[in-house]
Structure 1
Amino acid sequence: SSPAKLRDLGVLGRRLYAAFERRAGKIEVINPGIAPDIAEDTLTLVQSPNRKEPGSHHWGLYNGNLGVHEWEHFSPIKRCRELLELLAWAHRNGVIDSSTRLALHPGDSDLSEFELFNLLGSLQQSIALPLEPVSEARLLQPSVADEVLLLVNVGIDPLRHHRDLNILMTTERTDSLSYAGVRENLVLTVDQVTRNSWNEVLVQRYDGEHALLRCLRELLNSLVHSSHRPRVQVRCFCHNRAQAIAQRVEEIVETLQALLARGPDQRYVLQVAQHTHVFELLPDQVSLATLNGHDALVQHLGQERHRYSPLHLDRHALQDSDLPLVLEQARRNCIQVFYRLLDDCADLYVLDEYNVLWQQRVPLFDEGHLLLPVQRFLRSVLMRHAARQPLEPVQQAHLGIHYAQLLPSGPGKARSLEARPAPSADLDQPYYEVQAIIQAAAQGKVHVTLYCDQQEFSELEHGDQVYEVVARQILGQRRSAGHYRCYITDLDLSELLADEQGSTSLYLRHKRQLEQALNQGLEALQPTLTP
């Protein structure tokens, strides 16, 4: 056979495959141009309990206009678990057209005639019949999505419990993903209808917790390997706040598509009810992390990176936190230190050269003594980075360290930030400098060696008592019985890193762990001091 004949056979095979192959979620075509018109004048749509699966329901489409007690005596034309699958089937096959009259028995659903009319209108607009014939050129390529229709809360009123109790909600918090004081997510289900380049129509339903997030992740993952972008439309016709819900979801879809167009390594933070979600647009896939609470988010944003990754915050994300003020300042090729003075403590934040976040709450003596140990540590890290770079022919640009203060100080939420100069090194500081070297040990463990007052203290010599021994050494050198903090001002990770250059945040993480152990030792010994 000639290559042309083989190609023709391949195209024919794909044409038949697209028309007749059955698979999950694909709408079966029962009338591929055979009968000119199979539209029904009058149909009855019924939701009823599924006797074979107690607790679940299904939808049936019946001939004629049947009353509430009549339909049970007839066999349906088609029955589906989900409404959208049934409507898409009826539309795609021409069973329902613009002249069909529908009687509705919504059962336990919240489906209204208004919503049903608009759902059918959306399907007719998104999948306009008759479909254009598929060209040979498109059949030679793998199928890609051309039209995506996202229908939110089909047959569901997200505020039904308020309606049942006759409660009228008035709230300033109108975000559809975090609504009112209880922060309800009003996006309960998403039905996705896709028409692809082979004219296949596919329906998928997302429900349960994080339905929208799973839908968005899978939609983005379907686009990540192709430059072709479908038209994505979002519609919602539910009983409460339908327009606001549709606009909110559409805004998020548009944002994520725009980030996808920028290239890999973009991140997007979205808050839905009590959870924070972080999308990461990697070169070959889109990942999604679902996080519960501030600490989990900080830990996630503090994960080690090896290249810069921009972070984009949804406009409603983290509104009760100081984090947006910090995260929105991210810049390449520098280290940024942010601090906020509270009553007897301070919050420190660092965004490193790869936009990794580090945060720590520390006791507060005064502003200078808060920042000077950080400055000294960061300068030592940068010196270690520089030492690993060749001097010739071109030395890498030296990373700058920038400081800013979150204002106002004290309790409540920070509203602004102001740049601050780097701390002066001539302060008389009430702390001791300790250098640390961390070396790799067996089974993923590490050996720590500490240097204080030019003396070496190692786990080899002191075992797990090394931190208490160093604390005792520090207290033995004290100038007064005041409260001291101990800071790591230099840290060597060269053996752990081998040939890699660890990010600044990695050094900061090790620094915090070591300081925690040292200061616990100090606190344990502090009561034994006499003024």
Structure 2
Amino acid sequence: MTHPHEIRPDIDEGIDRKVLAKLRARFLQLNTGRLQRAMDGLSTRQQQVLTLLPLLFHVNHPLLPGYVSGSTPAGVSGFEPDANLVAEGQRLARSFTYKTRLGNPNRPIHGLFLMGSLGTLAQAEQSDIDLWVCHAPGLGDSQLDELRRKCQLLETWAASLGAEAHCFLIDPQSFAQGLRDSQLSSDDCGTTQHYLLLDEFYRTAIWLAGRTPLWWLVPAYEERNYSSYTETLLSKRFIRSTDALDLGNLAHIPAGEFVGAGLWQLFKGIDSPYKSLLKLLLTEAYASEHPAVRCLSLDYKQAVFANHLDLDALDPYVMVYRRIERYLQARGETRRLELARRSLYLKVNKKLSGLDRARSNGWQRRLLKRLVDEWGWDERQLALLDSRSQWKVRQVAVERRELVAELNHSYRFLSQFAQNNNASSRADQRDLNVLGRRLYAAFERRAGKIEVINPGIAPDLAEDTLTLVQSPNRKEPGSHHWGLYNGNLSVHEWEHFSPIKRCRELIELLTWAHRNGVIDSTTRLALHPGASDLNEFELFNLLGSLQQSIPLPLETVSEVRLLQPSVANEILLLVNVGVDPLRHHRDLNILMTTERTDSLSYAGVRENLVLTLDQITLNSWNEVLVQRYDGEHALARCLRDFLNSLGQRSHRPRVRVRCFCHNRAQAISQRVEEIFDTVQLLLDQGRNHRYLLQVAQHTHVLELLPGQVSLTTLAEHEAVLECLGEERSTYSPLYLDANALQDHDLPLVLENARPGCIQVFYRLLEGWADLYVLDEYNALWQQRLPLHDENHLLLPLQRFLRSMVMRHDARVPLDNLQQAPLQTHYAQLLPSGPGKARSIEPRPTPDDLNDQPYYEVQAILQAGTGDDMHVTLYCNQQEFSELDHGGELYTVVARQILSQRRSAGHYRCYITDLDLSELLDDERGSTLLYLRYKRELEQALNDGLAQLQATLEP
């Protein structure tokens, strides 16, 4: 149905210039109303800025704001200041006078427009003044530089009057072609949303001076014929080109713009969801109509043509809301519509409840009141929204659920839209991926992650007074949990209230409260520690440590960081939270004095004082993660997981260790910190270290392979020897913690390891000797043997090792023998006899050149079926095989050896040479492997020898 005063020009039938003048008058009528509304919302000094801007761009006067030089582009098309405006200028500079320039002077400033929220329902005291300065095309670089400088000076002047102004230079000719290289509003995301920005400009812009938009004069139904229509208007002189400004049309909006605009609003919405929600929903409503999108600026223009000039109905924010309302009602999404209404109400920020009604009854409040009456909101709902500044955890948590769901919905919609319409450029696809990570970091729940409950919903969640309580967990008998309650509650009161938050562990609860600002430096805490050892001193220091490691507010995560996997930046390790490791001594009133002060092996009973560790991690995506370790192996597991979290990256987090427990807190934290520092240094060396740590009665071995750190926990010394004796294929240094294996000789051996050689260490005891061999890969072989004399102990081993090295070298082509043969080095642990070894002294390699000829026993091992092996022994070149002797092989060989001995002494027989070539195929085989087979064969031979000797003795 047409309005009686609707204008529907038909260019084919001809256009009356009076009709065009009437159209322009209608737009200017709306413009005047909006400008007056904008002025009404500004202070007197801010009004002065808006009033004077046209004059200041029209002239260059040395005493007026914005003066750069007399040649700076100045002069606004079609503008002549009236006497009142000249008087305003003279208040700033008494010497200022204005003379009308005769003829046709150059006017390089084609138009001045306000854009954004000024003059709208959402205008606020802090609203920016975004000014588009449309200039003549073809200005030189020096002219543009001067004009840009003039804008900067005017922004500074406006700031001195309490107005935050932003001037944006526009070349209309370039802009109409979609060419620009800078942002054009305070809320602009760049060049990829050209048409959506133009849509926003046409429906929000307030004309201040200069030419008026040519777009005003093109009917909405002719938008697709914009170029030919405007060419006709200009070529047939229906309008003069000096009166109109052409910034382009909105006949078609590329699909990619909806993706780009949605991404930008989502990005902003993570921290300020209410501010972005309306624009996100409008983008979704537009995109759902693609490709036949009817943007709001066309609705606005159509209303003017139809003579529907109601300022309230055509308010930009009301129009946005009405489009969203129609879209969501058509989809039956009432919950999302209610969220949009709340967002609009909070955006306008004019309180309508209770005493606030008595405030100034301005047009914004009246219009908002009509809307909320239409929505059927009651006093309770208004009071709740008006008290947003006092919202605390419970209300914020309710609101967060809907906001997060909406942001995630928008992300899914944009992703699907981009995929369905092939609308995402490579940059958009990257932005989608980055945004997905940003949403994941901000809102995704996972084990150990502290949930951020206040993404811009309420300004301050801090509580004045809270009560912290540990209490039994009735659902899990034998366990406890911690609760945080509003107010200062006594031990008899807290049970009658519901906690703000409840967690199994104290640090998770405190970290949640700190990260969400529920506890700040002014919060008073009442403590009921329950069965824990927590006291107010420890609680105060725990909170201080959290504030130091997670300083709020956190910096915004950069895109560069989101393009990479998250890494830990800050790690806080809190040891023995709420636990006194010597509580049993305190309860018995025992004061311990001891020389054994190691926190991992304390006093004579070697107690471990590191009972629990709480790890708080702040990563590069601003996620805060909490993990707890307890039990007797807590430290070792925490160490392993920490090292594996570093992966193979060079990045290293800052690690802080703190302990505030009742006994030995400083010594405990220093000990743990030293360990973490040491393992990081070892890992950084990249030499595949093994780190050996003793905690109480257990020994832990950590294999430091980047990203694959493994932990082996050993209870017995024999198990330690077995672990260190595992065969290796590359050299692996061993690093012993300073207090590891202190009751054994092993540290002396392991600390003297060298790569690329075989090292033999021995210690002479009473009737026995301990032999240690570190092979070329630093694997340990150890054996205790009866001691006849030093020569009989070492010579058989030296002969065997010499033979083994010769076999190794024989399997390598001569061309590849670039390195010298493996050298064998000997050293003796001193002193001999009982007690602990204190030192090591090098010894010469045993020499048998002057010795009597020795009895050679050679063994050849061959693969059998399955895991079986066939053994053939050669005694002084005589063959003995299992084929001939079966299970009696070792007894027969022992008899042969015994028959060759000149004396009847009970001494061992040894293998002097071993061939493993068939078992190893083309592999070299480590020294350790040869020594293992040697020991097994010698054990079998010596068992046979012992049986024979037993039968021969009377």
1:429, 1:156 → 2: CA distance?
A: 69
Q: Does residue 182 in structure 1 map to residue 605 in structure 2?
A: yes
1:367 corresponding residue in structure 2: 790
1:438 corresponding residue in structure 2: 861
The amino acid that maps onto 2:547 is Q
- Higher helix proportion (structure 1 or 2): 2
TM-score of the superposition, structure 2-length normalised? 0.55
1:88 deviates by 0.3
Find 2:457's aligned residue among 34, 44, 62: 34
1:320 corresponding residue in structure 2: 743
1:454 deviates by 2.1
Q: Does residue 472 in structure 1 map to residue 895 in structure 2?
A: yes
1:481 deviates by 2.1
Contact 2:699 2:715 in 1 (8 A): yes
2:442 corresponding residue in structure 1: 19
1:256 corresponding residue in structure 2: 679
SS at match of 2:910: strand
What's the RMSD between the two structures over aligned residues? 1.4
2:746, 2:881 → 1: CA distance?
A: 38
CA deviation vs aligned residue, 1:470-505 (integer Å, no higher than 9, x gap) = 111122223232213100010001111110001111
2:734 corresponding residue in structure 1: 311
Q: Does residue 392 in structure 1 map to residue 392 in structure 2?
A: no
Note the 1:339-358 alignment, pairs <5 A.
339-358=762-781
Moved more, 281-290 or 93-102: 281-290
SS at match of 1:330: coil
Find 2:689's aligned residue among 253, 266, 278: 266
Give unpaired runs (5+ residues) of structure 1: none
1:430 deviates by 11
Note the 1:191-210 alignment, pairs <5 A.
191-210=614-633
1:258 deviates by 0.5
1:116 corresponding residue in structure 2: 539
Moved more, 4-13 or 363-372: 4-13
Find 2:572's aligned residue among 142, 149, 156: 149
1:4 corresponding residue in structure 2: 427
Moved more, 174-183 or 30-39: 30-39
State how many pairs are aligned. Answer: 531
1:51 corresponding residue in structure 2: 474
Moved more, 207-216 or 87-96: 207-216
1:529 deviates by 2.6
The amino acid that maps onto 1:525 is L
1:284 deviates by 4.2
Note the 1:512-527 alignment, pairs <5 A.
512-527=935-950
Contact 2:644 2:706 in 1 (8 A): no
Note the 1:223-238 alignment, pairs <5 A.
223-238=646-661
1:400, 1:410 → 2: CA distance?
A: 29
2:854, 2:484 → 1: CA distance?
A: 78
1:322 deviates by 0.4
CA deviation vs aligned residue, 1:95-149 (integer Å, no higher than 9, x gap) = 0001111110000000011110010000000000011111111112111111111
Contact 1:369 1:429 in 2 (8 A): no
1:284, 1:82 → 2: CA distance?
A: 28
2:525 corresponding residue in structure 1: 102
1:428 deviates by 5.1
1:429 deviates by 6.9
CA deviation vs aligned residue, 1:34-88 (integer Å, no higher than 9, x gap) = 2221111111100000111110100000111111111111111100000000000
SS at match of 1:234: strand
2:503, 2:896 → 1: CA distance?
A: 76
Contact 1:149 1:193 in 2 (8 A): yes
SS at match of 1:485: coil
2:835, 2:490 → 1: CA distance?
A: 60
Contact 2:683 2:705 in 1 (8 A): no
1:393 deviates by 6.0
SS at match of 2:492: coil
1:376 corresponding residue in structure 2: 799
1:530 deviates by 5.0
- Higher strand proportion (structure 1 or 2): 1
The amino acid that maps onto 1:417 is I
CA deviation vs aligned residue, 1:197-226 (integer Å, no higher than 9, x gap) = 111111011112311111111110110232
Q: Does residue 69 in structure 1 map to residue 492 in structure 2?
A: yes
2:896, 2:459 → 1: CA distance?
A: 94
Cα 1:283–1:444, aligned 2, differ >3 Å: closer, same or farther?
farther
SS at match of 2:437: helix
The amino acid that maps onto 1:119 is L
Moved more, 78-87 or 397-406: 397-406
1:217 corresponding residue in structure 2: 640
SS at match of 2:815: coil
1:442 deviates by 1.1
The amino acid that maps onto 1:263 is G
Cα 1:457–1:393, aligned 2, differ >3 Å: closer, same or farther?
closer
CA deviation vs aligned residue, 1:263-306 (integer Å, no higher than 9, x gap) = 14111111111111111112541011111222111111111111
Contact 2:513 2:519 in 1 (8 A): yes
2:796, 2:895 → 1: CA distance?
A: 21
Find 2:879's aligned residue among 453, 456, 466: 456
SS at match of 1:46: strand
Find 2:712's aligned residue among 266, 286, 289: 289
1:87 corresponding residue in structure 2: 510
1:171 corresponding residue in structure 2: 594
Contact 1:190 1:205 in 2 (8 A): yes
2:873, 2:622 → 1: CA distance?
A: 68
The amino acid that maps onto 2:733 is P
CA deviation vs aligned residue, 1:239-282 (integer Å, no higher than 9, x gap) = 11111110011001001100111114111111111111111112
1:412, 1:130 → 2: CA distance?
A: 60
Q: Does residue 244 in structure 1 map to residue 667 in structure 2?
A: yes
The amino acid that maps onto 2:895 is R
Cα 1:41–1:444, aligned 2, differ >3 Å: closer, same or farther?
same
2:672, 2:695 → 1: CA distance?
A: 12
Moved more, 77-86 or 387-396: 387-396
1:491 corresponding residue in structure 2: 914
Contact 1:340 1:407 in 2 (8 A): yes
TM-score of the superposition, structure 1-length normalised? 0.98
Moved more, 32-41 or 475-484: 475-484
SS at match of 1:260: helix
Of structures 1 and 2, the one scoring higher in RCO (CA 8 A, sep 6+) is 1
The amino acid that maps onto 2:861 is I
1:311 deviates by 0.8
SS at match of 1:23: coil
1:431 deviates by 7.4
1:11 deviates by 2.1
2:435, 2:720 → 1: CA distance?
A: 52
**After TM superposition, where is structure 1 displaced by more than 4 Å over at least 4 residues in a row?**
426-432
Moved more, 207-216 or 102-111: 207-216
1:528 deviates by 2.5
Percent of counterpart pairs with the same letter?
80
1:463, 1:238 → 2: CA distance?
A: 67
1:10 deviates by 2.2
2:854, 2:839 → 1: CA distance?
A: 30
Contact 1:436 1:448 in 2 (8 A): yes
SS at match of 2:866: helix
Moved more, 284-293 or 46-55: 284-293
CA deviation vs aligned residue, 1:426-445 (integer Å, no higher than 9, x gap) = 46579743111111111122
* Bigger radius of gyration among the two: 2
